[in-house]
Amino acid sequence: MKLYAKNILITGSQGFIGTNLQNYLQNLGARVTGFDKELGDDILDITKVETQIKKGFDVIFQLAGYSGSTYSNSDIKSCFDLNSIATAHIIKSILTHSPNTKLILSGSRLEYGKPQHLPVDENHPTNPNSAYGISKLIATELALVFAKSDGLKTTIFRTSNVYGSHKNSNFKGYNVINYFIDLAKKGGTIKIFGDGSQIRDYIYIDDLVDAFCRGIDSKADGQIYNLGYGKPIKFADMARTIVKTVSRGKIKFVKWPHDYKSVETGDYISDITKIKDQLEFSPHVNFAEGILKTVQNEK
The reported pLDDT for the residue numbered 173 is 54
125 CB-contact burial (10 Å; exposed 0-12 / middle 13-18 / buried 19+): exposed
The reported pLDDT for the residue numbered 257 is 79
The reported pLDDT for the residue numbered 2 is 82
**CATH fold for the domain made of 7-297:** Rossmann fold (3.40.50)
Distance (Å, whole) CA 44 – CA 89: 8
The reported pLDDT for the residue numbered 223 is 98
The reported pLDDT for the residue numbered 28 is 95
The whole-angstrom distance between residue 299's C-alpha and the CA centroid of its chain comes to 25
Q: What is the pLDDT of residues 200-244, one digit of tens each?
A: 999 999 999 999 999 999 999 999 999 999 999 999 999 999 999
The reported pLDDT for the residue numbered 265 is 80
Give the pTM: 0.94
DSSP state of 110: G
Q: Name the phi and psi angles at 62, rounded to 5.
A: -95, 95
Q: Which residues of the chain have pLDDT under 50?
A: none
Which of 251, 207, 241 lies closest to 225 in space, CA to CA? 207
Residue 288: helix, strand or coil by DSSP? helix
The reported pLDDT for the residue numbered 74 is 83
Are the C-beta atoms of 209 and 163 separated by less than 8 Å? no
The residues spanned by each domain of the chain are: 7-297
The reported pLDDT for the residue numbered 117 is 96
Are the C-beta atoms of 62 and 103 separated by less than 8 Å? yes
